[in-house]
Structure 1
Amino acid sequence: MTPQNPIETIVLRTLTLTWPFYAFGALYVVGPVLAWLLGAVALVVLYLGPAVRDDMRATGSIPLIVWIWIAGMVMMLVALWVGHLDWGLGLKKTIKSSIGWAKGWALLALFPLIGAVLPIRREVLVRGQCIIGLWTLILAPILLIAPHIGLPERIFTSPLKTVGGPGPEYFSVYFFTWDPATWTPRWQFYAPWSPFAALLGVIMLLFALEDRCVKWRSIGVAAGLLMILASKSRMGLVGVVACTIGPRMMPLILRGWAWQAVSGLVASLAVFGTAALATASDFVAAFKGARADSTRVRATLQRIASERWQNDAFWFGHGTVHPGSHAVEYMPIGSHHTWFGLLFVKGLVGLVSLLIPFVWQTALTMIDAARSKRGALPMGIMMTFTLLSFGENIEIEAYLLWPALMMLGIHAREMDGVPRNALATG
C-alpha cells in the first residue's frame, strides 16, 4: 500500500503509529490535532480549487450528509453555551467545555468532512487498520501473560494529561486491568477501558474483511477477534455477529425469495412463537446477568439522567455531567450512555442535534448496503456506533473512532459519484 499524496501519507502513518502513540499516552492528543489539521487542509483545498497541486485537489463539493453533521455539531456547541448560561457555570467553565467540544463532538463532523473532500482512498484506511492489527498481535503475548507473572496493571500516566481531558485513564498505559466483579483480568489494548476496546476490535474486523490481500485480511481479523474476546465485553460479542452479518444480509431485501422465506418464518411463529419468546427472554436475562453489577449501575444512571432532565433542564440540559453517588459507584450522571447523557447534559436540543445526522447516515449506509457491497463497511460502522452509543459516550471516544468517521465521509463521496480513479489522477 503506497500513499499517492501527502494526505494519504499522514493518514497511513498516523494509523501505523497507533501503538507507539499509545505507549506515550498521546492518542487523546493525536486524534483532535489530526482532525483540525486535516480539516483546515480540506477547507483550504476547497477554497483554492484548481490552484492546488493535482494530487491534493478536493474530490468534489461537500456532500449533504456532511453538511448535516456539521450543522448538528454546531448546534451541539450552541446547546452547550445556553446550558452553561442557564446554570450560571461561569466563563472559565464555558471555555473549558468549549475546548472539550472541539476535542469531542466537533470530530464527528470534521472527520467525515475530511474523508469526503480530501483525496483519501478507502484502501488506505483498510490497510492501516490491518497494520494496527499486526502491532496488536505482536504485543499480545506480553499483554496476555502480564497478570500471570506479576506485572502491574498500569505502567504509567503520561504528563500529557496536563492538556486536559475526561480523566487520567485517557493518558495512561496499561498491561491489563482487574475486573472488580470477578477479580479476573481484562484487556483494553490501546483503549481507555475494555468495553470500548471490544468495539474497536469490531471496527478493526470490519475494515479487515475489505482488505484484498489474504495475509493482511487474516491479520486484521485475528487481531479484531482477539480484542473482542480478551476484553470480555458483552457488547463486543453482540457486535462481532450483528455488525458483520447484518450488512451482508441487506441485499436480500431486494430478493423476492427472501421475502417469501421471511413470510414463512413469521407464519411459523404461530406454532413456535411462545417457545422462541421464552428462549429469547432467557437469553436476555443471562446476558444481563453475566455482568449484573454493570447492568444495575448503567440502568440507575439512565433513570437518574432521565428524571433530572425532565424535571430540571428539558431543552438545553445541565451543561455538564454531575458527580454520582455510591448508588452508581460514583460514576458521573450523564455518562455511560450517549442518548441519556445528551438529554442530561444538553437537553432535547442536544439529542436532536445528534439524532438527525446519526439516523440520516445510518439510512444512507443501509440503502447502499442493499444495493452494493460498497455499503457493507459503512453500515457495519454505523451499527457499531449504535451499539457503542448505548453503553458509552461516543463523543469522548471520537479520538479513536476517527478512521471509521473518515470512512463515512469517503462513503458519502462515493455515493455522490466520485470515481476511485479520480483520486489517482487528481
Structure 2
Amino acid sequence: MGPETLAERIVWRALIWTWPFYALGALYVVGPVLAWILAGLAAFALYFDDALRTELRPTGPIPALVWLWILGMAVMLFALWVGHLDWGLGVKKTIKSSIGWAKGWALLALFILAGSVLPIRREVLIRAQGYVALCTLILAPLLLAAPYIGLPERIFTSPLKAVGGPGPEYFTLYLFTFDPASWTPRWQFYAPWSPFAALLGVLTVLFALEERHRGWLAVGVAAGVLMILASKSRMGLVGLVACTLGPRLIALIVHSWAWAAVSALASAFAIWGNMVIHAAQAGVEGFKSARADSTRVRETLQRIAYERWQNDAFWFGHGTVRPGAHLVEYMPIGSHHTWYGLLFVKGLVGFFAFLVPFVATLVFTMFDAARHPRGRLPMGICMTLLLLSFGENIEIEAYLLWPALLILGIHIREVELAKTGPSVR
C-alpha cells in the first residue's frame, strides 16, 4: 500500500515523517506549507485538467459542500478584518492576524479541497497513519520511562519559532510534562499539550479500524489507546467510546429491529428514567471533579468570553484573543473553546462561518454512514472534531488534523463519484 500519484507521494512523506518533524520542532511549519502546496496543486490541476498526464488530473470538479467550506473560511477572514477595524488594532496586527488565519482557519478549507479534487486514496492515508502509530509504540518506552529515570521534560525549542505561532510549545520537543494540579507526569507525544494528544489518539484508533491488515490494525489501536491513557485526558476517554461506536451504531437505524429495540428502551426509560438521569448527573459531576481546577478555569473563560461578546462586539467580535486575569490563570479570553472563542474573537458572523459548513459536513457523513461503510471514518472524524471543539481551539490545531481533513474531502469526492460515476479521463 504505497503512493502512486504525485499528491499521494507528498502526503505520504509528510505523514510518515511526523515524528522526525516533531523532533526538529517543525510540525507547525509543515502543516500550513503542506496545505497551501496541495491547494496550489489542486488549482493547477483544475485549471489545466486534460492537458496534464493522468496522475496529475483532478478527479472531478469542486463539490458544492467543499465550496461551502471555502466560502465559510473566506467569511472568517472578512470577520477578522472588520473586527480589527472596529477595535482600531492597526495595520501591523491585522496583517499578523491574517497570516494567522492562513495558518489556521484557512487550512480547514484547503485540506478538504485538496482531498476532494486530487487523486489521493484514503487507503494511503490510513497506512501512513499506521507508520506514525508504529513510531509512537517504538518511542513509548523511552517517553514513559523519562520522568522516572531523571530525563528532563523539555529537550529544546526549535529556532523555527521565529516564523511565529500561538506559543513556544508548538516548536518545543517534550518527553513529558508535569500536571500542575497533581504534579504527576502526563505525556503529549507529538502534540503541543496532553488533551490534544488524547484526541489525536482517538483519530489514530479511527484510522486503524479502517485498516485491512490485522497487524497494522493492532498497531494503530494500541498506539491510539496508549496516547489516550498516557495523556490522562477525560475528553479522550469519552472520544474513544463515542467516536468509535457512534458511526457503527448509526447504521442500525436502517433496520426495523433496531427501531423495535429503541421503542423497548423508551418504554423502560419511562419507568426507570429518574434513576438514569440521577446516575448521569452524578457521572457528569464526577467527570468534572476529576480535574476540578481545569474545569473551573475553562468554565470561567467561557463565561467571560460569552458576556464580553454580548456586551462589546456582537457581530464581528474583538478581532483577537485578549489577556486573561489571575482568575483564569492568565489564560487568554477566547481560548480553550472553539465556539465561545469564535463568538469572542469573530462574533456571530465568524461563529456561523464555521458552524454552517461543519454541521453540513456532519449531517452529510451521518447519512452516508447509515447507508455505507465508507461513511464510518468521516463520521468518526466529525464527531472527534466536535468533541475537540468544546475543549480546544480547532483552528490552531489544524496543522496536526490535516490527515483527518483530507479524509473528509476524499469522502465527499467518493460520494459524488458514486452518484455520477467516475469521469472518463
Query: Under TM normalisation by the shorter chain, which class is it?
Result: over 0.9
- Measure the CA separation in 2 of the matches of 1:368 and 1:422: 18
Q: CA deviation digits over 1:349-407, x for unaligned, max 9?
A: 00000000000000000000000101000000000000000000000000000000000
- Measure the CA separation in 2 of the matches of 1:82 and 1:127: 43
Q: CA deviation digits over 1:194-217, x for unaligned, max 9?
A: 000000000011001111111111
Contact 1:154 1:174 (8 Å CA) reproduced: yes
Aligned to 2:95: 95
Q: Give 1:4-15 correspondences, 5 Å limit.
A: 4-15=4-15
How far does residue 257 in structure 1 lie from its aligned partner after superposition?
1.1
The 3-state SS of whatever aligns with 2:147 is helix
Q: CA deviation digits over 1:44-103, x for unaligned, max 9?
A: 000001011111110001011100000000000000000000000000000000000000
Aligned to 2:23: 23
How far does residue 124 in structure 1 lie from its aligned partner after superposition?
0.6
**AA paired with 2:237?**
L
The 3-state SS of whatever aligns with 1:416 is helix
Aligned to 2:259: 259
- Measure the CA separation in 1 of the matches of 2:272 and 2:61: 53
How many residues are aligned here?
425
How far does residue 264 in structure 1 lie from its aligned partner after superposition?
1.0
- Measure the CA separation in 1 of the matches of 2:271 and 2:144: 48
1:398 lines up with 2:398 in the alignment: yes
Aligned to 1:206: 206
1:285 lines up with 2:285 in the alignment: yes
Q: CA deviation digits over 1:134-154, x for unaligned, max 9?
A: 000000000000000111111
Aligned to 1:231: 231
- Measure the CA separation in 2 of the matches of 1:361 and 1:51: 32
1:114 lines up with 2:101 in the alignment: no
Aligned to 2:217: 217
**AA paired with 1:132?**
V
- Measure the CA separation in 2 of the matches of 1:331 and 1:172: 19
In structure 1, runs of 5+ residues without a counterpart are none
How far does residue 418 in structure 1 lie from its aligned partner after superposition?
5.5
- Normalising to structure 2: TM-score of the pair? 0.98
Contact 1:59 1:418 (8 Å CA) reproduced: no
How far does residue 172 in structure 1 lie from its aligned partner after superposition?
0.4
The 3-state SS of whatever aligns with 1:106 is helix
The 3-state SS of whatever aligns with 1:417 is helix
- RMSD, aligned α-carbons: 1.3
The 3-state SS of whatever aligns with 2:105 is coil
Contact 1:60 1:418 (8 Å CA) reproduced: no
Aligned to 1:348: 348
The 3-state SS of whatever aligns with 1:155 is strand
Q: CA deviation digits over 1:150-190, x for unaligned, max 9?
A: 11111110000000000000000000000011110000000
Aligned to 1:319: 319
How far does residue 269 in structure 1 lie from its aligned partner after superposition?
1.5
Q: CA deviation digits over 1:6-45, x for unaligned, max 9?
A: 2111111111100000000000000000000110000000
**AA paired with 2:198?**
A
- Measure the CA separation in 1 of the matches of 2:140 and 2:251: 37
Aligned to 1:174: 174
- Measure the CA separation in 1 of the matches of 2:87 and 2:9: 45
In structure 2, runs of 5+ residues without a counterpart are none
- Measure the CA separation in 1 of the matches of 2:14 and 2:367: 31
**AA paired with 1:36?**
W
**AA paired with 1:184?**
T
Aligned to 1:358: 358
Runs of at least 4 residues of structure 1 off by over 6 A? none
Aligned to 2:69: 69
Aligned to 1:382: 382
Aligned to 1:187: 187
- Measure the CA separation in 2 of the matches of 1:198 and 1:263: 35
How far does residue 422 in structure 1 lie from its aligned partner after superposition?
6.0
Q: CA deviation digits over 1:239-290, x for unaligned, max 9?
A: 0000000000011111111111111111112221111111111110100000
- Measure the CA separation in 2 of the matches of 1:2 and 1:365: 27
- Measure the CA separation in 2 of the matches of 1:175 and 1:418: 45
- Measure the CA separation in 1 of the matches of 2:416 and 2:157: 44
Aligned to 1:247: 247
**AA paired with 1:173?**
L
1:126 lines up with 2:129 in the alignment: no
- Measure the CA separation in 1 of the matches of 2:254 and 2:6: 41
- Normalising to structure 1: TM-score of the pair? 0.98
- Measure the CA separation in 2 of the matches of 1:250 and 1:273: 23
- Measure the CA separation in 1 of the matches of 2:313 and 2:16: 44
**AA paired with 1:375?**
G
- Measure the CA separation in 2 of the matches of 1:357 and 1:317: 20
- Measure the CA separation in 2 of the matches of 1:275 and 1:179: 35
% same residue: 70
- Measure the CA separation in 2 of the matches of 1:246 and 1:110: 27
